[in-house]
Amino acid sequence: MQGRLEEANKRLNEAHSVAKELDWAIDKVWLAVAEASLAVAEGRWEKALGAFEEADTLHTQHGMRWDRAYHRALWADALSQSNIDGWLSQAKNLLAQSEAEFREIDAEFYADWANGKLAAVETINR
């Protein structure tokens, strides 16, 4: 597993280099998402949460509502793994936002998916 994470870090660094040269806004969005996912896999929670925040901001700037809603649910999942202070209320808030956004764009399947995740998180008593 460690070798795969090292390879992922190497590839992510290469992608950052290429993205700097091209300077496409969409690359910044997906690099932030990749950075968040890799940081979660490595257990680097502050880095992961910062990257999710960056991705969320970029999704908003570029009108990527479905992606923002989906990644907010993944962000909530990361919080539930992190055990950071206040993670439970933040995860609930992100999942509620995710569900609402999916409903607003008529993505009912995903709204129900986010709602199911929210219901599961609401059963946790920490």
Confidence grade of residue 113 (pLDDT, cut at 50, 70, 90): very high
* Dihedral angle over CA of 82, 67, 27, 53, nearest 10: -40
Residue 106 has pLDDT above 60, yes or no: yes
CATH number of 2-122: 1.25.40
| Tens digits of residue pLDDT in 1-15 | 446 766 655 665 665
| Tens digits of residue pLDDT in 22-31 | 555 667 788 8
Residue-range domain boundaries for the chain = 2-122
Identify the CA nearest to 51 among candidates 43, 62, 61, 40: 40
Q: What is the percentage of the chain residues whose pLDDT exceeds 70?
A: 79
Read off the pTM.
0.79
> Any residues with CB less than 8 A from the CB of 34 and at least 6 apart, and which?
12, 15
* Dihedral angle over CA of 96, 98, 71, 62, nearest 10: -130
